[in-house]
Every structure is written in structure tokens, then in C-alpha cells.
Amino acid sequence: MTEKYAVILAAGQGTRMKSKLYKVLHPVCGRAMVDHVLTQLEQVGIDQIVTIVGHGADQVKRLLGERTTYALQAEQLGTGHAVMQAEDVLGPKDGVTLVTCGDTPLFTATTFKQLFAYHEQQGAAATVLTAHTEQPFGYGRIIRNADETVAKIVEQKDATSEEAAVQEINTGVYCFDNKELFAALHQLSNDNAQGEYYLTDVIGILKQAGKQVDAFQMDDFTESMGVNDRVALANATRVMQQRINTHHMQNGVTMIDPATTYIDADVQIGNDTVIEPGVVLKGKTIIGSDCVVGAHSEIRDSVIENGVTVTASFLENAVMHKDSNIGPYSHLRPKAEIGEGVHIGNFCEIKNAQIGQNTKVGHLTYVGDATLGKEINIGCGTVFVNYDGENKHHTNVGDYSFIGSGSNIIAPVEIGDHAYVAAGSTITDDVAPHAMGIARGRQVNKKGYYDRYPVAEAAKKNAEKYGEK
């Protein structure tokens, strides 16, 4: 079996992005562009992948790790010069080498496989991946011989009117016989306006040597979209998002409005889950089956089990176990774990807390650094006071307890099973099982005090509007 290799060109700075972030590291649907390219190549069964790095080399290496070999292009002297940097790794080997760019995140493993297969079938020295477009302006045109082999690649500025009318364009992806590639690279010249060594010139060198050069036209032109600026980045993101959403819908996920649903590439969603408009799902989020993610919710790097309902809420690094629900307008912060059947109501915030089965946290409540048992009722406006200005402290609340509305639970404190905290209490000491904790001043009513305050005069004026005394 023929050995397969790949070279990813990822050394350019990308000045047109006008960014401090190295171009190929810009994300498309939650994954860096160069990561998209590498991920697709990994699915092709390639024996060795070499990534050519230059600007931002250390950042690229940190991102991609040991998934690829690296070669450094210390000075950017053109695409041909970039591929030459892989010679120490690939030069002596027999096989087929695919060359692609790290700023083309939309190519798929299927297209790469088809290119390899066509190249080997034709027995060519080089095969150019091409595409058809009704608007070829700006692209290199593929000029074919009568037998469909490639005669030449003509750049826009050099094309005659007849050549400019050709709608088959060069995508910048190639398959080469590996040894033919590196032999031709040594013959490149930089005698051009840019003073660079172009990979496209290898095609001409091979043709002049009588070698066979073919072209394989892929089905979907949009895959060839390269990203050189923020406009192109947005366009690539739009195409990728449509692809991701289509994949999920084909797997049984209902999307009410895919055009306003934004899902990162690594998100997983089970069947019969409903995603409403304006939802954003990021990172490595996993959502089970039979869930409802309500309009304008955002979920990041979280695990949502089966049967969960999220209503207009924000979740990050959190877990919701099956049949639980949250919202509207609540926030799960990192290390929040919501148990089976738990209800988190509106305007609640949970952080670094575990909430047991069937417990209810109705509304307007903060639970931080706490472990709550099962079947607890947390009243409205309860605050788990976890920070003393220097350190965070933990609270435990036992099963079947009841925390009355407006309570402050001052950590560290232990509230036992079947305990009761009276509404409006500030709890600073432990509450034993089956005991009630109450910590508030006695109510005192002062007769006639209402009439001493400005509110009385305002009430009198308002009453006169209604003809009241």
C-alpha cells in the first residue's frame, strides 16, 4: 500500500487579519482553523503529517501537540519554500504527499480521500484539487489539454480573455509523488515580482519534464474558501455553522431556526432534543436526548443529561443530571452539579455546588461552595454566604431540610437532615437534624409611627385624587 503524507502550510503571519492572534489560530465554530485542517487529515489514514510553522510557532505547537510533526520556516519566502522545509522529514520517502493550507478550515476528509484516490488511479506526478465557480475572478484558472490533463495554471493577472472565462479554479491543494515534489522544489526560482518561491511553479516544472499532471474537481466549491481577513473568517464560520447544524438535524435534533443557532464543532447532541432560536452551544458541551434548550440560552463546556430543560439561562462548566430544569435567567457557574429532578428557578446562581435529587431552588437565590442533599426546599432570596474577604468556605445541607425565604447561610456551617431554617434568619452556627434554626430580632409594632414619616403626606395627596379622606 502506498504511503501517504501531508504538509500543512501554517507559517504565514496573516497581516490582513489585523490581529495579535496568529492567523491559523483564529477559531471557526470553536476550533482553530489549523485544527480543523489537521482533524480532517487525521481521518484520512495518513502515515505522517508535517505542519510548517513560522510566526506564532510555539502557540501552534501548544495547540496541536504531538498530533503532527513540525518544520520551521524561519523566513517566509513563499509557499514553495515553505514545503521545502519538510524535506528533512519527508524528502527521502516513497509515497504520495498532499499539500494544503492551515487557513482553509472547510475542507473535509471525504474530499482529501477522493483526491488521494484519484491521484493514485491516474498515476500522475501531481494532481491539482480544483473546483467550479460561476465567479472565478481572482483565482488561478485550470487550463486543460484535450485529454483532460492539466496544461497549466494561469493566474488572474496573466490570463487572456479566453483563459479568464474558464470557471475551473485552483484551490491550492495538491497531491504529489513525494520524490518528484522535492526534486522539483530544488528547481524553483524566485525571479518574480514578489521575490518568492511559489509552489504553483512546481506544476510547470513537472510539465516541462514530461511528467503527468492531472486535476480533480471536487463537488463543493465552498470547501475551498480560504481565510485572509475578518470578512472571510465570518463567511467561513457561516458555512461551517450550516454544516454543523445540518449534521445535528440529520441525527434527529430539532432546530426551530437553524439560522440563529450557533453550535461549536465539538458539541454533541442526542436525538429528539429541541433547540430553540438564539441558542449558543460552545466548547465540548454534551447534551443528551429529549432535552429542550430554550431560546437565547448559552451553554459552554457542560454536560446536560437526558430530559433536561434549560430556559433562557447561561451554563458554564456545569453538569445537569437527567430530568432537571433551570430558568429562566439563571446562571450555572463552574463546578455546579445539578442532581436528577432538581428545579433551579429564575434568577438563581449556582457555583461550585452539588445539589441533590429533587431539591428545589426556586428563585432569586445564590448557592456557592455548598453541598445540598435531596428533597430540600430553598426559599426565595436565600444566600449561601461563602466568602469572608480572604477565603471561601463550604456549607452542607442535609436531606429533606427546609430553608426559609430571605435566609443568609454563613459558611462554614452544617445543617442536618430534616432541619428547618426560619425565614429571614442569618445562620452562623450548625443546625442539628430535626431542629429549627431561627436568628432574627423579635418584631415590635409602634402605634402611630406611620403618620410621622413623609410617606404619610404623600399617601394623603394620592388619596385626595380618588376622593378619599
Indicate which residues carry an active-site annotation: 363
CA angle (257 as vertex; 256, 259 as ends), nearest 5: 160
The three-class DSSP label of residue 37 is helix
**DSSP code at position 140:** P
Q: How far is the C-alpha of 406 from the C-alpha of 28, rounded, in Å? A: 45
Element (H, E) at 345: strand 343-346
Identity of the amino acid at 333: R
The three-class DSSP label of residue 449 is helix
The single residue listed with the C-alpha cell 502506498 is: 2
**Helix, strand, coil % over all residues of the chain, rounded to 5:** 25, 30, 45
Q: How far is the C-alpha of 342 from the C-alpha of 124, rounded, in Å? A: 63
φ and ψ at 413, to 5 degrees? -155, 150
Q: Which three cell numbers stand for residue 389?
A: 474577604
Q: How far is the C-alpha of 343 from the C-alpha of 350, rounded, in Å? A: 12
CA angle (272 as vertex; 271, 274 as ends), nearest 5: 115
Where b means 16+ CB within 10 Å and e means fewer, 357-391 reads: bbbbbbbbbbbbbbbbbbbbbbbbbbbbbbeeeee
Give CA separation, 177 vs 80, 90, 118, 146, 268, in Å. 15, 11, 13, 23, 38
